[in-house]
């Protein structure tokens, strides 16, 4: 059906009622949520959400529209404070943390509706990702002290390095807002990687891409995982991508987890087929 | 790299333009070629240029509409005047230049403190709300200053709120404003202040902090999730602008023998905003040119006597129409293509 990159992955249960790939067993999970939930005025958008992601796992979060997938992302990145349960990132409780603090803990994300710094150049977009990696103060910048030149140079080099992941070095001076759609999506991933994350959250990375681009994106996500040794959690509607590269898949419906497992398990799960994949069947 | 060089050249042109303008004006003044009234406008022009460039930091680079910029100017003006009076009367400091420098620094610091105090509540708001609240704070500052009485004698400064019976000579007489100010502002000081402002704003906007400020302007949520502390950087832009406005205010105050808070009313904030908008939001050079020309313009229009402000308004409208005219814009862009340095960035198609 698709390029099966995870044919040999075996998922094993961990104590918190979740599963991770076998190679990540015994290592501290990068993300662990326990009974995570949020209510908006009585409506439980996410309820009793348990998920564990190993440090080098590619995991997928799928579900019909309005199932609460993006809400989960917003909970993980601290845009929302959960009304129940906890989010542990790299073993640390993120209770009452801000978005900025969560980023410093190593969570980076892309957005469903692209959110680039439109009026800034591609390189400057990546440099914002490097904001906390290569630091110098306001006065150093105004007075152009030696540290300024040295760190600007390092930022420049590192930004071009990161852009080369997607062969975008030549676009460094282009205004981000004027990039074509696919390139904007790729730039968002590069920008997120610049924050030196240990967990990368991708919100519909393949949206609006043609099959050829999706294929390339799949290869790139796996490559990024291998190169940076990070975990990836992605929301996606494109089943070819999800089934192709995700080792663990979590299915959400009406804010509740209805199934967890490997691609094969999910595909054969009658509950999932009924709630989600059944509707997608063609012919 | 090309883009960087272009930016560098652009900044260089701005500096060169200001230096050239200063040199030409000095030569004209020394040669006696400049009319008296125009000569009197030199320091105010510098002040309004600083005001416009610093407001551009808030409106153009930080993307927040602030309508209370003249409030910070008034804080700077009065603290500058008081500092200068205190240094002269209490410490017998005769050196006018040193007094001016200390007064400008004091004006900057106090306006900066006001910026922090106002920024804390104001920067929680966004868009129109922020504009309205800054407008209100600008007026509050002015009205509070109307009630402050300050006097000086050998013991130092005496302050009274709504209480004019103070020992020594009054430096600030409530609603009558500061009186008997020693005029110590010079065109040279104004020039230095303009250059300082340009260095601060241009260097800031192409540094790590400036990029963070622009990122927040472009997309607040994304900036936050990239680990940029939003409040800190919004505050940085707001307070830096306040400090610069305070310094301009101190210089402005020390250029007149009487300073009343009426000089820093809401319409002055709007005036500065007009400079910024006409010069092009985000364009520092534009702000400089617009501020200088529009400060001189009413003076040059004296020939129209009573219809002066009417003509001023019509000129403003014409300039706005002209700069938004697609024909003219296309023509200007075509012109730019032929110049080696002014080439506009071709944002768009990937190479």
Over its C-alpha atoms, chain A yields an Rg (Å, rounded) of 19
ipTM: 0.89
Query: What gap in Å lies between CA A195 and CA A197, rounded to an integer?
Result: 6
B8 touches chain A (CB under 8 A): no
- From chain B residues 320-349, the ones with a CB under 8 A of any chain A CB are 345, 347-348
Q: How confident is the model at residue B163 (pLDDT cuts 50, 70, 90)?
A: confident
Rounded to an integer, the average pLDDT of B202-217 is 96
The β-bridge partners of A257 are A252
Inspect the interface and report whether the beta carbons of A142 and B203 lie closer than 8 Å: yes
Among B215, B347, B348, whose Cβ lies nearest the Cβ of A117?
Answer: B215
User: What is the b/e burial string over A160-174, where b = at least 16 CB atoms within 10 angstroms of the residue's CB?
Assistant: eebbebbebeebbbb
- When comparing pLDDT for A5 and B159, which is higher? B159
- Yes or no, beta carbons of B227 and A171 under 8 Å apart: no
**Residue B309 above 80 pLDDT?**
no
pLDDT tens by residue, chain A, 283 residues: 344 455 566 777 777 677 788 888 888 899 999 999 999 998 999 999 999 999 999 999 999 888 999 999 999 999 999 999 999 999 899 999 999 999 999 999 999 999 999 999 999 999 999 999 999 999 999 999 999 999 999 999 999 999 999 999 999 999 999 999 999 999 999 999 999 999 999 999 998 889 999 999 999 999 999 999 999 999 999 999 999 999 999 999 999 999 998 888 888 888 888 876 555 445 4
Q: How many CB pairs under 8 A join A and B?
A: 113
The token duo for A192 is 């997120």
B207 touches chain A (CB under 8 A): yes
Report how far residue B259's alpha carbon sits from residue B257's, in angstroms, rounded to the nearest whole number: 7
Rounded to whole angstroms, how far apart are CA atoms B252 and B74?
9
Q: Which residues contact B90 (CB under 8 A, 6 or more apart)?
A: B152, B153, B154, B155, B156, B157
Which pLDDT score, from 0 to 100, does residue B346 have?
Answer: 41
Contact B228 A143 (CB under 8 A): no
- B-chain residue closest to A133, CA distance: B227
The nearest CA of chain B is from the CA of A66 a distance in Å of: 21
Backbone φ, ψ for residue B200 (5° rounding): -60, -50
Tell me what pLDDT residue B182 has: 87
Rounded to the nearest integer, the mean pLDDT of chain B is 88
Please give the Cα distance from B7 to B12 (Å, whole number): 9
A210-222 burial code (b ≥16 CB/10 A, e <16):
eeeebbebbebbb
Residue B109 has pLDDT above 80, yes or no: yes
Q: How many CB atoms lie within 10 A of CB B302?
A: 10
3-class SS of residue B282: coil
At B322 the pLDDT is 76
Q: Is the pLDDT of residue B206 over 90?
A: yes
Q: Please tell me which of the candidates B212, B215, B225 has its beta carbon nearest to residue A99.
A: B225
Tell me if B207 and A108 make a contact (CB, 8 A cut-off): no
- On whether the CB atoms of residues B251 and B193 are closer than 8 A, the answer is yes
pTM: 0.89
Check pLDDT > 90 for residue B244. Answer: yes
| Candidate from B244-248, B258-262, B317-321 with smallest mean pLDDT | B317-321
Instruction: Report the distance separating Cα B284 and Cα B244, nearest Å.
Output: 14
Say if the Cβ atoms of B212 and A131 lie within 8 Å: yes
Rounded to an integer, the average pLDDT of B30-54 is 92
* Proportion of chain B above pLDDT 70, given as a percent: 96
Q: Which residues of A touch B112 (CB under 8 A)?
A: none
B156-161 β-sheet, strand order:
B156-161, B148-153, B169-173
Q: DSSP 3-state assignment of A43?
A: strand
Q: If you average pLDDT over residues B239-243, what whole number do you get?
A: 97
> What pLDDT is attached to residue B236?
96
Across the interface, whether the CB atoms of B226 and A143 are under 8 A apart is answered no
Per-residue confidence (pLDDT) for residue B348, from 0 to 100: 37
The whole-number pLDDT of residue B311 equals: 78
Of B222, B227, B350, the CB nearest to A100: B227
More confident residue, B173 or B284: B284
Substitution target in B216, B222, B232 with the highest count of A β-carbons within 10 Å is B222
């Amino acid at each position: 059906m698709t390029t099966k990159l995870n044919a040999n992955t075996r998922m094993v249960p961990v104590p918190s009622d979740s599963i991770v790939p076998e190679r990540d067993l015994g290592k501290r999970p990068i993300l662990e949520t326990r009974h995570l939930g949020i209510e908006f005025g009585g409506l439980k958008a996410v309820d009793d959400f348990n998920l564990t992601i190993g440090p080098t796992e590619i995991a997928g979060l799928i579900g019909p529209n309005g199932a609460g997938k993006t809400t989960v992302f917003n909970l993980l990145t601290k845009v929302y404070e959960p009304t129940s349960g906890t989010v542990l990132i790299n073993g640390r409780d993120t209770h009452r943390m801000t978005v900025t603090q969560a980023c410093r803990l190593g969570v980076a994300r892309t957005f469903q509706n692209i959110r680039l710094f439109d009026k800034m150049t591609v390189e400057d977009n990546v440099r914002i990702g490097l904001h906390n990696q290569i630091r110098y103060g306001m006065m150093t910048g105004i007075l152009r002290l030696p540290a300024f030149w040295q760190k600007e140079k390092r930022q420049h080099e590192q930004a071009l390095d990161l852009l080369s992941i997607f062969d975008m070095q030549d676009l460094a001076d282009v205004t981000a807002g004027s990039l074509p759609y696919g390139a904007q999506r790729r730039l968002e991933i590069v920008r997120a990687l610049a924050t030196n994350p240990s967990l990368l959250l991708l919100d519909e990375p393949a949206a609006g891409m043609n099959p050829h681009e999706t294929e390339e994106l799949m290869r790139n996500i796996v490559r990024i995982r291998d190169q940076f040794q990070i975990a990836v959690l992605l929301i996606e509607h494109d089943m070819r991508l999800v089934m192709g590269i995700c080792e663990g898949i979590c299915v959400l419906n009406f804010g509740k987890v209805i199934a967890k497992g490997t691609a094969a398990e999910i595909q054969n799960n009658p509950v999932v087929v009924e709630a989600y994949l059944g509707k997608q069947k063609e012919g | 790299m090309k883009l960087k060089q272009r930016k560098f050249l652009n900044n260089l042109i701005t500096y060169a333009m200001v230096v050239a303008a200063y040199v030409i004006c000095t030569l004209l003044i020394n040669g006696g070629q400049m009319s008296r009234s125009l000569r009197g406008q030199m320091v105010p022009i510098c002040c309004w240029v600083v005001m416009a460039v610093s407001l551009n930091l808030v409106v153009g680079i930080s993307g927040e509409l602030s309508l209370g910029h003249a409030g910070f100017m008034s804080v700077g003006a009065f603290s500058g005047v008081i500092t200068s009076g205190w240094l002269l009367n209490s410490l017998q400091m005769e050196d006018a230049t040193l007094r001016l420098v200390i007064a400008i620094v004091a004006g900057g610091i106090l306006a900066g403190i006001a910026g922090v105090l106002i920024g804390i509540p104001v920067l929680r708001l966004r868009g129109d709300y922020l504009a309205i609240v800054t407008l209100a704070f600008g007026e509050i500052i002015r009205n509070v200053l109307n009630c402050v009485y300050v006097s000086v004698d050998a013991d130092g400064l005496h302050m009274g709120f709504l209480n004019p019976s103070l020992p020594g000579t009054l430096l600030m007489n409530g609603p009558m404003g500061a009186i008997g100010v020693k005029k110590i502002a010079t065109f040279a000081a104004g020039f230095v202040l303009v250059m300082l402002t340009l260095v601060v704003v241009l260097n800031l906007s192409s540094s790590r902090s400036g990029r963070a400020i622009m990122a927040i302007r472009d997309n607040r949520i994304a900036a936050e999730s990239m680990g940029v502390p939003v409040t800190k950087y919004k505050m940085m832009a707001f307070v830096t602008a306040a400090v610069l406005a305070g310094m301009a205010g101190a210089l402005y105050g020390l250029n007149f023998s009487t300073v009343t808070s009426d000089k820093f009313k809401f319409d002055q904030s709007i005036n500065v905003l007009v400079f910024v908008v006409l010069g092009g939001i985000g364009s520092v050079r534009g702000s400089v040119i617009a501020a200088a020309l529009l400060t001189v313009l009413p003076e040059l229009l004296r020939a129209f006597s009573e219809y002066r402000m009417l003509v001023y308004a019509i000129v403003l409208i014409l300039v706005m129409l002209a700069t938004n005219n697609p024909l003219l814009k296309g023509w200007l862009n075509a012109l730019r293509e032929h110049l080696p340095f002014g080439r506009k960035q071709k944002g768009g198609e990937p190479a």
